[in-house]
């Protein structure tokens, strides 16, 4: 269910609850009003009954016939009141009680009527009048008291219901908001985790327990973006390679100049001296031309190999050989800058399952960065050694360049982060990072401003081999 729907539903439920309680409270209020109206009437009636009983007493004590008339009058007026207020009384006490009251009143009236004109009623008559009068008064009292009690009860229960519903609404609102924010926070965390892993170059999809709501949609979008990025990464790797190629080509052009000059000088010398040359000398010169041509061919082939877009093709390679091949590509760039290179390769290294082309690209990037960080006369150290527990190999590229400021260090593997101004695309190290990650390896950097920078690449020996058998 969408979060929006959940919010609407929970609000509707809470709202309906509040309306229900309001309606209930309204009903109770009405009931209380009715009962109060009755209590008012009942007070009047009680007053009348009290008067009746007083007149009754006067009649018995003073044998005053006028008192009987007064009782009669009160009975009539009370009957009229009961009749007139019928619609107000019935809802409060019900028809049965009203009829009972009317019956009692009528009986009393009849007994009083029977006593009419009798100055001295018989004992039996007196007892009956007293009895019925008392019954009437008591009954009216009991009803009134009962109604008062009921009014109290209704108000109390209304109060209780209001207090209960206040807590119920509060708790449900808290629960709902807690639940929803929990859900949002959870999903946001998931998205945060995804984007973090994407920024590290890991484009794996995150699909675990994807909720079917807006956040699910966001996760879908991030997943889609991740897929696209994985696709683009290949293009970025290739375009970055072409960018490195630009730098390499300049160096390689110089590299070719030496064998070219050799061939040219042999040709010129031959042309000038061929009459005086022995057959052996001629053969030797031609063989040298051939060897120098081979030298050029190798350089060009390395460059072409490097530039060709290739599908990832991991094989068992000697990391040392990969480094040597890379050096033929970058040697000239290093020489132009008058940089002294020290290469120290551990000959006992095991072969490593890697994509040679990609690892070469990482090395070209690292060496190019190192050379660009140094002024003429810097020193470049390239070395290999066995990594942790002999399960990996470690390549170190160290320069004596200007170093990287500590505040830039955490960002140097971020895409498009560059400190080279217009010269850098900010992709070299991020592409390198991606390549090494794909190999299950690690690339680390240490740097001190003014002292130099060391990049360490650690490649596990079997990672890609395993990937291949698994995948």
Residues that bind another protein (CB under 8 A): 254, 257-258, 260-266, 268-269, 272-273, 276, 288, 292, 335-336, 338
Question: In which region does residue 386 sit, left (phi positive, over 0), alpha (psi from -120 to 50) or beta (all else)?
Answer: beta
Tokens of 29: 């209020």
Q: Say whether 409 sits in a helix, a strand or coil.
A: helix
* Least distance (Å) between residue 397 CB and another protein: 20
Q: Which is nearer to another protein, 227 or 272 (CB)?
A: 272
Alpha helix ranges (H) inside 200-313: 214-273, 279-307
Name the minimum Å distance from CB 263 to another protein. Answer: 8
Q: Minimum distance between the CB of residue 330 and another protein, rounded to whole angstroms?
A: 15
SS3 174: helix
The span from the CA of 330 to the CA of 244, in Å, is 10
| Nearer residue to another protein within complex by CB, 232 or 282 | 282
Query: In angstroms, rounded to a whole number, what is the distance separating the alpha carbons of residues 184 and 321?
Result: 52
Rounded to whole angstroms, how far apart are CA atoms 64 and 61?
A: 8
CB of 451 to another protein, least distance (A): 25
Q: Decide whether 220 or 284 has the Cβ nearer to another protein.
A: 284
Give me the least distance between CB of 284 and another protein, in Å please: 9
Closer residue to another protein in complex, CB, 143/263: 263
Six-digit token string for 265: 């000088």
What CA–CA distance (Å, rounded) separates 117 from 127?
17
Cβ proximity to another protein, 11 vs 264, nearer residue: 264
> Structure tokens of 367?
């060496």
In the bound state with another protein, the residue whose beta carbon lies nearer, of 118 and 261, is 261
DSSP letters spanning 22-61: HHHHHHHHHHHHHHHHHHHHHHHHHHHHHHHHHHHHHHHH
Nearest distance from C-beta of residue 375 to another protein, angstroms? 14
Burial class (CB within 10 angstroms; exposed 0-12, middle 13-18, buried 19+) of 276 = exposed
Enclosing H/E stretch for 19 = helix 3-62
Q: Whose Cβ is closer to another protein: residue 47's or residue 250's?
A: 250
Shortest Cβ distance from residue 336 to another protein (Å)?
Answer: 6
For residue 116, which phi and psi values (nearest 5 degrees)?
A: -60, 130
Shortest Å, Cβ 262 to another protein = 4
Shortest approach of another protein to residue 268 CB, angstroms?
A: 5
Min dist CB 340 to another protein, Å, is 9
Pairing of strands 442-448, 315-317: unpaired
Residue with Cβ nearer another protein (111 or 337): 337
CB neighbour class for 303 (10 Å; exposed up to 12, middle 13-18, buried from 19): buried
Nearest approach in angstroms of CB 258 to another protein is 5
CA–CA dist 364, 429 (Å, integer): 11
Distance CA 471, CA 82 (A): 96
Nearer of residues 267 and 449 to another protein, judged by Cβ: 267
Considering beta carbons, is residue 335 or 446 the nearer one to another protein? 335
Residue among 88 and 257 whose Cβ is closer to another protein: 257
Alpha-carbon span 250 to 39, nearest angstrom = 110
Select 51 or 341, whichever has its Cβ closest to another protein.
341
Q: Which long-range contacts (CB under 8 A, 24 or more apart) does 198-205 make?
A: 198/222, 198/225, 198/226, 198/229, 199/414, 200/433, 200/437, 201/233, 201/430, 201/433, 201/434, 201/437, 201/438, 202/437, 203/227, 203/229, 203/230, 203/233
Min dist. Cβ of residue 382 to another protein (A):
16
């Amino acid at each position: 269910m969408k979060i929006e729907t959940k919010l609407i539903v929970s609000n509707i439920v809470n709202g309906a609850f509040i309306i229900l309680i309001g309606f209930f409270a309204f009903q109770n209020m009405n009931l209380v009003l009715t009962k109060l109206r009755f209590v008012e009437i009942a007070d009047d009636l009680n007053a009348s009954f009290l008067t009746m009983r007083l007149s009754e007493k006067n009649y018995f004590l003073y044998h005053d016939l006028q008192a009987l008339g007064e009782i009669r009058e009160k009975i009539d007026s009370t009957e009229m009141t009961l009749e007139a207020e019928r619609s107000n009384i019935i809802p409060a006490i019900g028809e049965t009680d009203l009829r009972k009251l009317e019956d009692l009143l009528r009986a009393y009236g009849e007994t009083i009527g029977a006593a009419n004109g009798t100055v001295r009623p018989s004992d039996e008559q007196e007892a009956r009048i007293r009895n019925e009068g008392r019954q009437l008064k008591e009954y009216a009292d009991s009803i009134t008291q009962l109604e008062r009690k009921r009014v109290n009860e209704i108000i109390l229960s209304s109060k209780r219901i209001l207090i209960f519903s206040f807590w119920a609404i509060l708790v449900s609102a808290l629960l709902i908001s807690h639940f929803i924010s929990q859900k949002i926070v959870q999903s946001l965390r998931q998205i945060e985790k995804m984007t973090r892993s994407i920024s590290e170059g890991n484009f794996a999809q995150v699909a675990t327990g994807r909720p079917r709501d807006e956040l699910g949609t966001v996760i879908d979008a991030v997943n889609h973006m991740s897929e696209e990025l994985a696709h683009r990464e290949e293009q970025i790797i290739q375009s970055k390679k072409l960018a490195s190629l630009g730098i390499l080509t300049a160096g390689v052009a110089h590299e070719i100049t030496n064998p070219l000059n050799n061939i040219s000088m042999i040709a010129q010398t031959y042309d000038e001296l061929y009459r005086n040359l022995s057959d052996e000398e001629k053969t030797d010169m031609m063989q040298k031309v051939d060897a120098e041509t081979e030298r050029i061919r190798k350089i060009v082939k390395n460059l072409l190999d490097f530039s060709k877009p290739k599908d990832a093709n991991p094989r068992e390679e000697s990391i040392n050989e990969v480094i040597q091949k890379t050096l033929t590509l970058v040697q000239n760039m290093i020489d132009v800058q008058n940089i002294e290179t020290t290469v120290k390769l551990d000959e006992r290294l095991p072969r490593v399952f890697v994509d040679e082309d990609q690892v070469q690209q990482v090395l070209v990037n690292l060496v190019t960065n190192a050379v660009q960080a140094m002024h003429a006369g810097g020193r470049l150290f390239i070395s290999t050694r066995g990594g942790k527990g002999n399960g990996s190999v470690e390549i170190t590229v160290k320069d004596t360049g200007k170093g990287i400021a500590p505040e830039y260090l955490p960002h140097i593997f971020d895409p498009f982060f560059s400190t080279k101004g217009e010269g850098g695309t900010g992709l070299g190290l991020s592409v390198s990072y991606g390549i090494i990650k794909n190999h299950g390896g690690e690339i680390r950097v240490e740097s001190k401003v003014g002292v130099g920078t060391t990049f360490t690449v650690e490649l596990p020996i079997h990672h890609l081999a395993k990937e291949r058998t698994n995948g």
